[in-house]
């Protein structure tokens, strides 16, 4: 094994995303021959005691309570932003300005303006050697990476349809507690930014095309909720569900839906693409599988085939187990870490870039504007 | 077995739909205790020789080449309209005026005006004892009839989402031949009226609610096609695909898609409903199954359950086989015949009525208008 | 349409199987261009009134209460035996002796001796122009007929494994009533003959090979049951479940299981075959589908593909509907009727022949003998 | 977080299993509140350079080339045996004698005699405080742990049927290379010990019952194979496939099949149980799902429900992610590590014990003996 260089990682936030990222940083060098070995240098949180306990549990060497101090650390070369969306822009821009690489959770920002500033900052920093990536981890699902390969080699042909939904149900009950995810000023939006951002990015990633316009509906079914342990209901200022129809630059029609009210659907991200040469279908609840219909087959034996994406020839599978030994949701973060470290070491631009994140943000912004004006068609700017 | 009265049926058209209806008329009295026994009195078509051959094959006693003559026959009490949409209004209105019962294939008509006239005619005729029904046969799928029962008894609760697609792929290939189904003046619309009408009607039927507004996109991917044996390409004047988002009166959000370009999907009508108490999902390619999620279950054992809808307690199953012995697509027509004959004998109003058909037509019309004006929101009139 | 000759059918029994056969006789000439048009001449049952009512309901022109009289009728050329197994041999042998064609429900007989006599009688009658067929209707499922075609053209290669189960659950409850199906002297055996016979025949049909030996277990979980309305429990003298491992002549290993105690499985006939070139899998609860794995595919896109067996190029589909419009369980009988009528008209030997039925019977007999002697290996005689 | 004590782990072998175990040792303390923190003290292999490279990659602090030296290390309290089966007995017995805890990969041993000696050694060591566990990791799949809970609380009722298969296909091709897994003296048996052992243990685990007798068939389809890079074919002295029928102590019937020739099945471990109160079904290729049929449900809404086993109330899920975020194959080892560490700290007996491993071994032995004498019934001794 060749000698590897270390890279110090500083992470902001240690909740759900922070735990998943920690597992990735600890694991990536064990599974893959990455050119840089991540060192879990420091984790940052507001509450010192809680952050210390998280650091111990998750394997971080040091603790910070101010993200500026985290960025300032000499032993940190990469800032991993796992905090809520309202902090993304400040931290990312400061980190890039300080010459640190940045991995930022999705969605890139809470507002289009912030996203634009972040993309600009990433552009400037790129010339100075700092790399920025947005954490659309589902691009790293082997089945979806395979889907993209198939599309790139023409297996779908001229694209006609994209239909994507991301269905969860954790707000179905009216008495589910109020959290920061229901506050527009913290989360930016609701299901739209949390779930919709993923399927918009996947549509861009898989097709290599972009959404050029949308017509949208959103709804907030439950207008106020009570915080855990609280007695005073708080207004819910984000959407519970968002759906929209769209056109892609190449002429395909698309539909998208994100909701937290799809009772019984726990993590129901489904995406299907139909083209002149074939079709692909994917369901996150069965993430080791990709369905592929090859239109070139004789109609007598044609059918959607269920590819178990665990072969050594499949993307990311060289780091893992023999065929048929499935991966889980968390592996997407390990793959993300691998790709980011590889790009940094090679001096290349990691994907999805902040520009990719901005592209998603423009679509989300168009969705919100369309929904606000009675579902009028809204063109997506910039593209 | 009680003595049954006969009812003479006269059918217009003997192609795909005519064959399916014939099988239903021949079978219904064998499978079910219907109060009226259908007599296959006469079939009507333009080409006498071809119609005669069809009559012999399908079991019709006589042949007509003019639908007016068919209506005029004394031995015909029920006119079954299986011809293309441009003939529906004339035939149905004349038949009702002549005091005949009418079963009319879907969509009810090619234009909203025709549909309104038909609904009015049905209303007038009703008072004089003639019954009219539109052939949305998928209401008669046992799994969907069961879905409606579950919804009516509260198993879905407050409805939040409807998502429905009807995916076929027979126009995927650019060299598929030109037919009357691609002509606006014959077919009214393309995928929208042929496929979209079904899922709109099902949304109304299952929810007991109505679509109040839409925002829509349509596309004609292949602009001209050549008739079989022909050399001159003809312009395709209908949509290849239509998708729209919608609101229901009760506040639920909905999305619909109909296409003939979903490569690999042969008869992919799928509908899912999510509500506060549960969810339902159905796929026409597996029409004996209904998926049901009961939110009242303990989360430890909760899950979408696959109900094999072949139990004697399931709708329409009393006429058929023991549990597990599945039905096919054609049985929906037999069930439709049963319900129509039962309603006629009882003097009740069969469902879906022409008013129900008109309600669907209003949605289709709103979809076309929205698509024509850049996906603007269009309210569905009348309701 | 060419002028067709009639063939008079006389059916013995009008219960479950009789109803299904009646639907087939009524329908076959409407769906397919059969060379002989079946005439539903007479149905035979012990109770005159009940038989009359059945005749009227099912469309039979006349009624007999003695099967000998049925055979003697001049207007009957084909005897269709739908009565319990203890009557098969007598009726079939007499009918063949009288020069009538015979369709006999499966399993061929209750004992090996009877089956041998029947096969001998069919052999003799064949030379005199009478045809005999045993009603293994599942050979007529389009998906399984397609499976056989694929195997014949080498898509599975050298066969290694057959695994087949037929799972039902109608005896799960200890208070399910006693019927003739639980009496050895009426039914021959229990799950073994009723369900196991089907999967043994399918293994023979699909592979073109035969079972050469077995090692078996059977069980009767509930030792006595009470007849409907009765008070006196009766001993159950047949098996509730039977399972066995087997070898095929060509070297493949096989396993079979038939049970009426598989709670939740309503009609769970599943069969899978694995060979050097590919695999096939089928489930009767989804009878329009065949799963096929083609080992020649690149491993990157290989996977079990779900073939929706509704294409015009698929077996039996030319008589029915466009792609994606599924068939049900009852259609197998219509296909069976088509094949029998075609063979009779062509003077050919219909399949499965009584010799095929005897081959199944020999396996069932070996299973019972193995189970009786502590699962010892029992070679299947004759082969 | 409470202060935890370390426990030094010494691992023998670093190939496929060693990699999976390493990931578990590194991860378990991050995901779960285990009372002992595993320290990856030393890994042992024959080739020093290769072992060193593996140690560096997998995170082990030191290297040994003699397993006796590994056992002798003061910083090692737990020996983790991941080497081929022919080494299991010697290492485990020596380690236990030295007072070390032992985790031994499955199957427990290559011969029944070895397994008996190991179980005896574990019994003796237990009294002196050393714990022994055999690595049937599939007991730690949340869906199967849930299955066992459901069975224990009576959801399946009186058990009637167990059917289990473990299907792989990596030897389908005649030119797959010869390895130690095809040598009886190294591997003990072929598919039987490698795959069959898992499903036998699961049958014991899930039912709480034991297999009391078997009738078996085995086959070696390809008699010799050539080692990688070699030219001389070597005889294959293990089975390619094994299948058997069995009885359980409580009266249920069971069938088992293990094969490396099921083309297209990559890791097809499937197990189904049917009982008077319900049924359960599981497929390793979809390991986050459990299918459950509750016979107490009204037949109108009864059906196999797909439980996505990712809820916080499900076994092992408290260490991981929110509902719907699936786990992979490797997590079973992390769960195994958690349970072993917990048992060691509590002074309790971990499960599956060496006695459980011996119980499986007795079944495998009976299978081999039955297959050797023409599938005669062989009682499983000891029990």
- pLDDT tens profile D324-369: 999 999 999 999 999 999 999 999 999 999 999 999 999 999 999 9
Q: Tell whether omega for the bond before C349 is within 30 degrees of 0, i.e. cis.
A: no
pLDDT in tens, D232-278: 999 999 999 999 999 999 999 999 999 999 999 999 999 999 999 99
Contacts with D258 (C-beta within 8 Å, 6 or more apart), sequence order: D165, D166, D191, D192, D194, D195, D196, D199, D241, D242, D243
Cα(A291)–Cα(A29) distance, integer angstroms: 31
Cα(C190)–Cα(C364) distance, integer angstroms: 11
Cα(D144)–Cα(D125) distance, integer angstroms: 30
The answer to whether the CB atoms of A287 and D22 lie below 8 A apart is no
pLDDT in tens, D89-146: 999 999 999 999 999 999 999 999 999 999 999 999 999 999 999 999 999 999 999 9
Query: In this structure, are residues A138 and A114 in contact, taking their beta carbons and an 8 Å threshold?
Result: no
Chain C residues touching residue A314 (CB < 8 angstroms): 300
Q: What is the pLDDT of residue C227?
A: 93
Hey, of B155, B160, B221, B242, which one would you mutate to test binding to chain A, going by the most A CBs within 10 A of its CB? Answer: B160
- Could you tell me the pLDDT band of residue B169, with boundaries at 50, 70 and 90? very high
pLDDT, average across residues A271-289: 98
Give chain B's end-to-end CA distance (angstroms, integer).
43
**Per-residue pLDDT for B75 more than 80?**
yes
Could you write out the DSSP letters of every residue in B122-161? HHHHHHTT--EEEE-GGGG-HHHHHHHHHHHTTSS-SEEE
The answer to whether the CB atoms of D217 and C247 lie below 8 A apart is yes
Hey, of A295, A300, A306, A316, which one would you mutate to test binding to chain C, going by the most C CBs within 10 A of its CB? Answer: A300
- Could you tell me the pLDDT band of residue A1, with boundaries at 50, 70 and 90? very low
CATH class of the region B140-328+358-372: alpha beta
CATH class of the region D138-328+358-372: alpha beta
Cα(D164)–Cα(D243) distance, integer angstroms: 10
Chain B residues touching residue A192 (CB < 8 angstroms): none
Report how many Cβ contacts below 8 Å link chain A to chain C. Answer: 48
Closest approach of D212 to chain A, Cα-based (Å): 31
Residue with structure tokens 């029904």?
Answer: B133
Helix (H) or strand (E) holding D6: strand D5-12
pLDDT, average across residues B108-134: 96
Helix (H, G, I), strand (E, B) or coil at B353: coil
Closest approach of A338 to chain D, Cα-based (Å): 15
pLDDT in tens, A155-199: 999 999 999 999 999 999 988 999 999 999 998 899 999 999 999
Q: How many Cβ atoms sit within 10 Å of the Cβ of residue B8? A: 18
C308: nearest CA partner in chain A: A303
Chain B residues touching residue C322 (CB < 8 angstroms): 16, 170
The dotted CATH code for C145-328+358-372 is: 3.30.360.10
From the list A81, A130, A128, A77, the residue with the least C-alpha distance to A109 is: A81
D315: nearest CA partner in chain B: B300
**Per-residue pLDDT for D8 more than 50?**
yes
Q: What is the pLDDT of residue D342?
A: 98
Round the average pLDDT of chain B to a whole number and report it.
96
Chain D residues touching residue B146 (CB < 8 angstroms): 300
Q: What is the pLDDT of residue C377?
A: 97
**Per-residue pLDDT for A381 more than 90?**
no
**Per-residue pLDDT for D282 more than 90?**
yes
Closest approach of A324 to chain D, Cα-based (Å): 5
The dotted CATH code for C5-137 is: 3.40.50.720
Cα(C43)–Cα(A306) distance, integer angstroms: 48
**Per-residue pLDDT for A3 more than 80?**
no
Q: Tell whether omega for the bond before A114 is within 30 degrees of 0, i.e. cis.
A: no
**Per-residue pLDDT for C4 more than 90?**
no
Q: What is the pLDDT of residue B1?
A: 43
Hey, of C219, C245, C305, which one would you mutate to test binding to chain D, going by the most D CBs within 10 A of its CB? Answer: C245
Cα(D58)–Cα(D66) distance, integer angstroms: 19
The answer to whether the CB atoms of B325 and C170 lie below 8 A apart is no
Look up the pTM and report it.
0.97
Contacts with C202 (C-beta within 8 Å, 6 or more apart), sequence order: C136, C138, C139, C144, C164, C269, C271
pLDDT in tens, C244-287: 999 999 999 999 999 999 999 999 999 999 999 999 999 999 99
B50: nearest CA partner in chain C: C1
Query: In this structure, are residues C41 and C75 in contact, taking their beta carbons and an 8 Å threshold?
Result: yes
Q: How many Cβ atoms sit within 10 Å of the Cβ of residue C50? A: 12
Report how many Cβ contacts below 8 Å link chain B to chain D. Answer: 48
Which sequence spans correspond to the domains of chain C?
Answer: 5-137, 145-328+358-372
Closest approach of B23 to chain A, Cα-based (Å): 27
Could you write out the DSSP letters of every residue in C87-109? GHHHHHHHHHHTT-EEEEESSS-
The answer to whether the CB atoms of C174 and D276 lie below 8 A apart is yes
Q: What is the pLDDT of residue A231?
A: 85
Q: What is the pLDDT of residue A230?
A: 85
Query: In this structure, are residues B333 and C328 in contact, taking their beta carbons and an 8 Å threshold?
Result: no
Counting residues of chain C whose pLDDT is more than 90, the rounded percentage is 94
Chain B residues touching residue C331 (CB < 8 angstroms): 328
Using CB atoms, which residue from C150, C300, C307 is nearest to A303? C307
The answer to whether the CB atoms of B285 and C288 lie below 8 A apart is yes
Closest approach of C155 to chain D, Cα-based (Å): 12
Q: Among the CATH numbers 3.60.15.10, 3.40.50.300, 3.30.413.10, 3.30.360.10, which is that of A141-327+358-372?
A: 3.30.360.10
Cα(B93)–Cα(C175) distance, integer angstroms: 57
**Per-residue pLDDT for B65 more than 90?**
yes
Closest approach of B5 to chain C, Cα-based (Å): 14
Cα(A245)–Cα(B256) distance, integer angstroms: 10
The answer to whether the CB atoms of C302 and A303 lie below 8 A apart is no
**Per-residue pLDDT for C92 more than 80?**
yes
Residue with structure tokens 């980190």?
Answer: A95
Helix (H) or strand (E) holding B359: helix B354-372
Cα(D377)–Cα(D371) distance, integer angstroms: 9
Q: What is the pLDDT of residue C3?
A: 56
- Could you tell me the pLDDT band of residue A382, with boundaries at 50, 70 and 90? low
pLDDT in tens, B255-284: 999 999 999 999 999 999 999 999 999 999
Closest approach of B265 to chain C, Cα-based (Å): 8
The answer to whether the CB atoms of D245 and C375 lie below 8 A apart is yes
ipTM of the complex: 0.95
The answer to whether the CB atoms of B305 and D303 lie below 8 A apart is yes
Give counts: helices (H), strands (E), chain C. Answer: 11, 17
Chain C residues touching residue B328 (CB < 8 angstroms): 288, 325-328, 330-331
pLDDT in tens, A247-269: 999 999 999 999 999 999 999 99
Using CB atoms, which residue from A300, A306, A307 is nearest to C314? A300
Q: How many Cβ atoms sit within 10 Å of the Cβ of residue C72? A: 14
pLDDT, average across residues C189-201: 97
- Could you tell me the pLDDT band of residue A229, with boundaries at 50, 70 and 90? confident
The answer to whether the CB atoms of C243 and D265 lie below 8 A apart is no
Give chain A's end-to-end CA distance (angstroms, integer).
43
Q: Tell whether omega for the bond before B377 is within 30 degrees of 0, i.e. cis.
A: no
Q: What is the pLDDT of residue D382?
A: 65
Using CB atoms, which residue from A304, A308, A314 is nearest to C305? A304
């Amino acid at each position: 094994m060749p000698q590897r260089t270390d890279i110090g990682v500083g992470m902001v936030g240690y909740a759900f995303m922070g735990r998943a990222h920690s597992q990735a940083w600890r694991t990536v060098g064990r599974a893959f021959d990455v050119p840089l070995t991540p060192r879990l240098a420091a984790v940052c949180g507001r509450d010192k005691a809680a952050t210390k306990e998280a650091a111990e549990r998750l394997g971080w060497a040091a603790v910070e309570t101010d993200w500026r101090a985290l960025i300032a650390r000499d032993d940190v070369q990469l800032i991993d932003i796992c905090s809520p969306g309202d902090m993304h822009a400040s931290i990312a821009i400061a980190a890039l300005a300080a010459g640190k690489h940045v991995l930022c959770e999705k969605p890139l920002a809470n507002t289009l303006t912030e996203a634009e500033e972040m993309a600009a900052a990433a552009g400037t920093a790129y010339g100075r050697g700092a790399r920025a990536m947005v954490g659309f981890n589902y691009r790293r699902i082997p089945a979806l990476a395979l889907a993209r390969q198939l599309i790139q080699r023409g297996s779908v042909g001229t694209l006609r349809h994209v239909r994507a939904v991301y269905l969860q149900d954790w707000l179905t009950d009216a008495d589910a507690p109020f959290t920061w995810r229901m506050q527009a000023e913290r989360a930016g939006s609701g299901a739209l930014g949390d779930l919709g951002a993923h399927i918009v990015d996947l549509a861009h990633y898989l097709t290599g095309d972009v959404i050029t316009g949308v017509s949208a509906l959103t709804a907030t079914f439950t207008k106020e909720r009570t915080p855990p342990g609280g007695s005073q209901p708080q207004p819910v200022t984000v959407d519970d569900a968002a759906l929209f129809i769209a056109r892609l630059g190449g002429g395909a029609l698309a539909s998208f839906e994100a909701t937290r009210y799809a009772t019984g659907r726990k993590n129901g991200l489904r995406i299907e693409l139909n083209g002149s040469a074939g079709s692909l279908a994917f369901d996150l609840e069965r993430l080791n599988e990709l369905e592929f219909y090859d239109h070139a087959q004789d109609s007598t034996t044609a059918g959607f085939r269920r590819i178990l994406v665990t072969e050594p020839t499949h993307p990311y599978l060289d780091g893992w187990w023999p065929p048929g030994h499935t991966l889980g949701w968390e592996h997407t973060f390990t793959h993300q870490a691998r790709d980011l470290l590889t790009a940094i070491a090679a001096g290349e631009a990691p994907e999805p870039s902040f520009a990719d994140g901005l592209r998603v943000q423009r679509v989300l912004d168009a969705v919100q504007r369309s929904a606000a004006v009675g579902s009028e068609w809204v063109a997506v700017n910039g593209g």
